[in-house]
């Protein structure tokens, strides 16, 4: 029970810290309080990992000691004095009352909004349960997201690895920001691998709150705002990333949160600090933040420069800007120091200006007619990769949102000409994001353009709100929410585990779930799906390899790797074994094997049909364990002679 109890305490502490912080500034504004509390709760989990990771002090005792100290420092004064304690309780009650009364009101005016919210929350709870029951199977996750968690725990921080020779995707571990992986890390440290995919399931509801607060800034109707917020969060590009370690839900969440705080009239210091925190988390979530953060920051500064009380707020604005730099800056600064490319490992060419890297960000776009056909087609029925759905925008949004956004754009331009502040702000926030489509690395992939999607939904809601007849708003909201649910149904998103299989997994022991999970229970892809290939997804560990991993690789056990694709598979459930690279080009096969033995390897992992693999088959005492994944050309694992002589450790 240690793992579940630790996770429960961690969740309660995060919620309490978030509420305590929000109650100090937003107790009379429940929607803002809910957004602030959620953002502060995420920051509470992320900040210690971020600071300790860059200091090289990221071990489990120090991490949880720091989290405990922060909780005591925040909650102690709040609970010890009557007035702050009363404000905390009042804030919590106001948030609950807002949620219940808002849903009741929406049920009368926009019942489809209630359907959208309830469906989204249900999907988040359901996928959280699947994340616990079944091993992770996401291609990108096992390529490098989970490796980011594993190496950070192994090296007690975000050490520069330089392991592109092991796997080209290791460059992402070094060069990409780590917000969502840091959230996964703190959950894994509290329990084990079973909760590594939980972050999207609790980030997406916060994204819904952020979108609602943002839309309400420009749309008077609470029901319409809630309906459009729900519709935006129900697109496949977001929902299909539940039960994964992909980071785009985090990016969308803090992009929407930043929009909620930018350019408020007569801003208070707390609002500026929340803007700084949201922008910092946005920049720490995904490399696309390098575009979004400066744009939103510039809008915020221009808005503040026009404020009569700007001199009083200057110190707070400067502090918020420093917070942004502290949260997102270390990764990009190290990239410059190591490679000269702040966006490492991305390679980028824009207007004659280029950055050299390993990942091409300019050649993933399809021809325009092909991309449009892909976006506006139904797409193949059945499960596809969460990272590359052909209909990630959904079916209804491409048909409705651009037209409604054009109406919203026309309305905003007309009102901006009359010097309406909200209309001018809306244009400043949305037009740069829409312009991003001209430099997008892949316009057909919704997950790479979520800031564009959110901007278009915001303009669409504004356009509908200006219609003479409220019927248009009701109809548009209904079509978008129902269309989102229809797109999800069309995708058949079992999240690699069918409901019947989930029930069977729930009756297994933890070890049985590890061994039988995705290998046994993943549903087949639709035969017509273009994503159907040579076992490319989901990534499933073989039964034999999963069982051997949990029995052989205890705390500190060493896995020496020559080459492997899915590095994330090599850490045990507790993420407490050690994975290291030994370049197969550096030594002849026999010498490589001897060096692995000298290092105390329990396992070695090599590519098949190589001189090294053949040498291991011939080497005395080395036990072949077979393929580690169910791919035809999967890497091969071998148990060392010394490990073969020892009794296996007890199963978890």
* β-pair type (359-360, 346-350): parallel
* Banded pLDDT at 528 (limits 50, 70, 90): very low
Q: Is the pLDDT of residue 295 over 50?
A: yes
The Cα 506–Cα 194 span in angstroms is: 13
pLDDT at 185: 98
Residue 474: phi and psi, rounded to 5, are -60, -45
Higher pLDDT, 496 or 415: 415
The Cα 621–Cα 633 span in angstroms is: 24
pLDDT at 453: 97
The Cα 443–Cα 401 span in angstroms is: 16
Q: Which of 85, 22, 567, 457 is nearest to 237 (CA)?
A: 457
* Banded pLDDT at 26 (limits 50, 70, 90): very high
* Banded pLDDT at 121 (limits 50, 70, 90): very high
- % the chain with pLDDT above 70: 92
The Cα 330–Cα 332 span in angstroms is: 6
Mean pLDDT score, 323-327? 98
The Cα 341–Cα 354 span in angstroms is: 9
Dihedral sign from CA coordinates of 144, 148, 149, 151: positive
pLDDT in tens, 56-78: 999 999 999 999 999 999 999 99
pLDDT at 383: 52
Own/partner pairs, 154-157, CB within 8 angstroms, 24+ separation: 154/575, 154/578, 154/579, 155/56, 156/56, 156/57, 156/58, 156/59, 157/52, 157/53, 157/54, 157/55, 157/56, 157/57, 157/58
Q: Which of 398, 375, 404 is nearest to 475 (CA)?
A: 404
Mean pLDDT score, 327-340? 95
pLDDT in tens, 187-201: 999 999 999 999 999
Q: Under DSSP, is residue 348 helix (H, G, I), strand (E, B) or coil?
A: strand
Q: Is the pLDDT of residue 138 over 50?
A: yes
* β-pair type (636-639, 623-627): antiparallel
Residue 646 burial class via C-beta count within 10 angstroms: exposed 0-12, middle 13-18, buried 19 and up: exposed
Domain ranges of the chain: 2-338, 543-645
Q: Which of 346, 381, 392, 147 is nearest to 245 (CA)?
A: 147
pLDDT in tens, 207-262: 999 999 999 999 999 999 999 999 999 999 999 899 999 999 999 999 999 999 99
pLDDT at 107: 83
Compute the CA torsion angle 11, 15, 16, 21 (nearest 10 deg).
Answer: 140
pLDDT in tens, 419-445: 789 999 999 999 999 999 988 888 888
- % the chain with pLDDT above 90: 65
pLDDT in tens, 451-462: 999 999 999 999
Which pTM value belongs to this model? 0.94
pLDDT in tens, 88-97: 999 999 999 9
pLDDT at 92: 94
The Cα 101–Cα 120 span in angstroms is: 18
At a CB cut-off of 8 Å and minimum separation 6, what does 419 contact? none
Higher pLDDT, 42 or 243: 42
User: Which CATH number is 543-645's, of 3.30.160, 3.40.190, 1.10.10, 1.10.287?
Assistant: 3.40.190
* Banded pLDDT at 369 (limits 50, 70, 90): confident
Mean pLDDT score, 412-424? 90
The Cα 207–Cα 202 span in angstroms is: 9
The Cα 310–Cα 180 span in angstroms is: 34
**Which of 176-180, 201-205, 504-508 has the weakest average pLDDT?**
504-508
pLDDT in tens, 475-503: 999 999 999 999 888 877 767 777 888 88
**Which of 143-152, 307-316, 598-607 has the weakest average pLDDT?**
307-316
Both structure tokens of 18 = 């978030």
Both structure tokens of 258 = 């930043």
Q: Is the pLDDT of residue 411 over 70?
A: yes
342 alpha carbon, distance to own chain's centre: 21
- The full length of the chain comes to 652
* Banded pLDDT at 520 (limits 50, 70, 90): very low
**Which of 109-113, 337-341, 489-493 has the weakest average pLDDT?**
489-493
Average pLDDT over all residues of the chain? 89
pLDDT at 350: 64
């Amino acid at each position: 029970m240690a793992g579940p109890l630790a996770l429960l305490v961690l969740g309660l502490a995060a919620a309490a810290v978030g509420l305590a912080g929000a109650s100090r500034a937003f107790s009379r504004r429940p929607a803002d309080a809910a957004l602030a509390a959620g953002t502060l709760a995420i920051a509470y989990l992320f900040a210690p990992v971020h600071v300790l990771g860059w200091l090289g002090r990221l071990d489990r005792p120090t991490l949880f000691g720091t989290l405990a100290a922060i909780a005591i420092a925040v909650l102690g004064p709040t609970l010890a004095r009557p007035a702050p304690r009363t404000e905390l309780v009042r804030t919590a009650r106001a948030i609950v009352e807002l949620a219940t009364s808002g849903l009741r009101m929406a049920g009368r005016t926009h019942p489809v909004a209630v359907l959208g919210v309830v469906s989204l929350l249900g999907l988040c709870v359901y996928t959280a349960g699947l994340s616990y029951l079944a091993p992770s199977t996401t291609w990108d996750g096992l390529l490098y997201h989970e490796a980011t968690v594993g190496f950070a725990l192994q090296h007690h921080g975000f050490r520069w690895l330089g392991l592109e020779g092991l796997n080209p995707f290791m460059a992402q571990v070094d060069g990409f920001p780590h917000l969502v992986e840091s959230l996964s890390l703190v959950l894994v440290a509290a329990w084990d691998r079973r909760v590594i995919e939980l972050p999207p399931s609790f980030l997406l509801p916060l994204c819904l709150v952020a979108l609602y607060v943002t839309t309400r800034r420009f749309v008077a109707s609470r029901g319409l705002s809630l309906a459009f917020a729900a519709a935006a969060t129900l697109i496949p590009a977001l929902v299909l990333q539940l039960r994964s370690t992909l980071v785009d839900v985090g990016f969308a969440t803090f992009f929407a949160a930043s929009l909620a705080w930018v350019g408020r009239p007569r801003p208070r210091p707390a609002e500026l600090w929340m803007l700084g925190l949201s922008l910092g988390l946005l920049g720490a979530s995904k490399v696309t933040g390098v575009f979004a953060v400066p744009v939103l920051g510039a809008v915020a500064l221009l808005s503040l420069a026009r404020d009569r009380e700007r001199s009083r707020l200057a110190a707070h604005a400067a502090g918020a800007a420093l917070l942004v730099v502290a949260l997102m800056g270390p990764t990009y600064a190290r990239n410059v120091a190591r490679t000269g490319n702040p966006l490492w490992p991305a390679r980028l060419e824009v207007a004659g200006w280029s950055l050299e890297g390993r990942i091409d960000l300019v050649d993933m776009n399809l021809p325009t007619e092909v991309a449009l056909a892909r976006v506006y087609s139904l797409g193949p029925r059945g499960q596809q990769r969460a990272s590359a759905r052909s209909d990630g925008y959904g079916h209804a949004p491409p048909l409705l949102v651009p037209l409604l956004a054009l109406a919203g754009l026309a309305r905003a331009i007309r009102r901006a000409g009359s010097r309406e502040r909200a209309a001018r702000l809306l244009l400043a926030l949305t037009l740069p994001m829409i312009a991003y489509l001209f430099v997008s690395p892949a316009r057909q992939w919704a997950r790479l353009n979520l800031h564009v999607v959110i901007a278009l939904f915001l303009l669409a809601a504004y356009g509908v709100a200006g219609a003479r007849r409220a019927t248009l708003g009701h109809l548009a909201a209904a079509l978008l929410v129902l269309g989102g649910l229809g797109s999800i149904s069309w995708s058949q998103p079992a999240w690699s585990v069918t409901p019947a299989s989930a029930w069977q997994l729930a009756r297994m022991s933890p070890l049985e779930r590890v061994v039988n999970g995705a290998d046994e229970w993943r549903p087949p892809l639709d035969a017509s799906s273009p994503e159907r290939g040579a076992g490319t997804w989901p990534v499933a560990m073989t039964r034999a390899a999963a069982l051997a991993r949990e029995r052989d690789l205890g705390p500190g056990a060493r896995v020496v790797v020559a080459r492997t694709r899915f590095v994330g598979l090599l850490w045990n459930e507790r993420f407490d074994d050690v994975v290291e690279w030994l370049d197969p080009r550096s030594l002849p096969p026999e010498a490589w094997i001897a060096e692995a033995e000298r290092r105390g390897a329990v396992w070695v992992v090599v590519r098949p049909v190589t001189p090294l693999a053949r040498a291991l088959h011939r080497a005395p005492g080395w036990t072949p364990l077979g393929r580690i994944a169910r791919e035809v050309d999967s890497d091969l694992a071998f148990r060392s002679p010394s490990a073969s002589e020892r009794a296996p450790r007890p199963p978890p």
